[in-house]
Structure 1
Amino acid sequence: MVAPVESAGTDSRPAARPGPIPWVAMYHSVGDCSDDPYRITVTPERLGGQLAWLRRRGLRGVSLRELFAARARGEGRDLVGLTFDDGYADFLDHALPALHRWNCGATLFVLPGRLGGVNSWDPLGPRKPLMTADGIRRAASAGVEIGSHGLTHVDLTRADDTTLHAEVTDSRTQLAELIGAPVDSFCYPYGTVDERAVTAVREAGYRYACAIDPGPLTGPHALPRLHIGQNDTAWRLHLKHKLHRLRRRPVEGL
Structure 2
Amino acid sequence: MSADPAHAPAPAAPGTATASLPRHRPVRPWVLMYHSVARHTEDPYDITVSPGRLDRQLRWLRRRGLRGVGVAELLRERAAGRGARLVGLTFDDGYADFIEEAVPLLRHHGCTATVFVLPGRLGGTNAWDPQGPRKPLLTEAGIRAALGAGMEIGSHGMLHLDLTGTDDDTLRRETEGSRLLLEEVTGRSVRGFCYPYGTIDHRAVGAVRAAGYEYACAIDPGPLTSVHALPRVHVGESDDSLRLHAKRLLHPLRRRALPSGPTAPAAGAPRTGAGR
Distance in 2 (CA, whole Å) between partners of 1:224 and 1:13 is 15
Contact 1:60 1:80 in 2 (8 A): yes
Q: Which of 102, 105, 115 is equivalent to 1:95? A: 102
Map of 1:190 onto structure 2 = 197
Q: Which of 139, 142, 145 is equivalent to 2:149? A: 142
**Is 2:114 the partner of 1:107?**
yes
Contact 1:20 1:248 in 2 (8 A): no
Distance in 2 (CA, whole Å) between partners of 1:231 and 1:35 is 14
Distance in 2 (CA, whole Å) between partners of 1:109 and 1:166 is 16
* Paired positions, count: 252
Distance in 2 (CA, whole Å) between partners of 1:85 and 1:14 is 25
Task: Structure 2: state its 5+ residue gaps.
Answer: 1-8, 262-276
Map of 1:209 onto structure 2 = 216
What TM-score comes out, normalization by structure 1 length?
A: 0.96
Per-residue CA deviations over 1:79-126 (Å, capped at 9, x if unaligned) read 100000000000001000000000001000000000100000000000
**Is 2:12 the partner of 1:4?**
yes
Contact 1:201 1:221 in 2 (8 A): yes
- The one-letter code of the counterpart of 1:7 is G
Distance in 2 (CA, whole Å) between partners of 1:2 and 1:115 is 26
- The one-letter code of the counterpart of 1:240 is K
Map of 1:15 onto structure 2 = 21
Contact 2:214 2:228 in 1 (8 A): yes
Contact 1:186 1:210 in 2 (8 A): yes
Q: Which of 44, 48, 71 is equivalent to 2:78? A: 71
Q: Which of 188, 200, 204 is equivalent to 2:207? A: 200
Distance in 2 (CA, whole Å) between partners of 1:189 and 1:28 is 12
Comparing 133-142 with 83-92, greater Cα deviation is found at 133-142
Structure 1 SS opposite 2:60: helix
RCO greater where, 1 or 2, for CA within 8 Å and sep 6 or more? 1
What TM-score comes out, normalization by structure 2 length?
A: 0.88
Distance in 1 (CA, whole Å) between partners of 2:58 and 2:20 is 25
Shift, 1:35, TM fit:
0.6
Task: Structure 1: state its 5+ residue gaps.
Answer: none
Structure 2 SS opposite 1:162: helix
RMSD (CA atoms): 1.3
Shift, 1:16, TM fit:
6.0
Contact 2:217 2:232 in 1 (8 A): yes
Per-residue CA deviations over 1:28-80 (Å, capped at 9, x if unaligned) read 00002311000100000100100000011111100011101101110111110
Distance in 1 (CA, whole Å) between partners of 2:93 and 2:174 is 14
Q: Which of 62, 71, 75 is equivalent to 1:55? A: 62
Identical aligned residues as a percent: 59
Map of 1:224 onto structure 2 = 231
Map of 2:271 onto structure 1 = none
Map of 1:176 onto structure 2 = 183
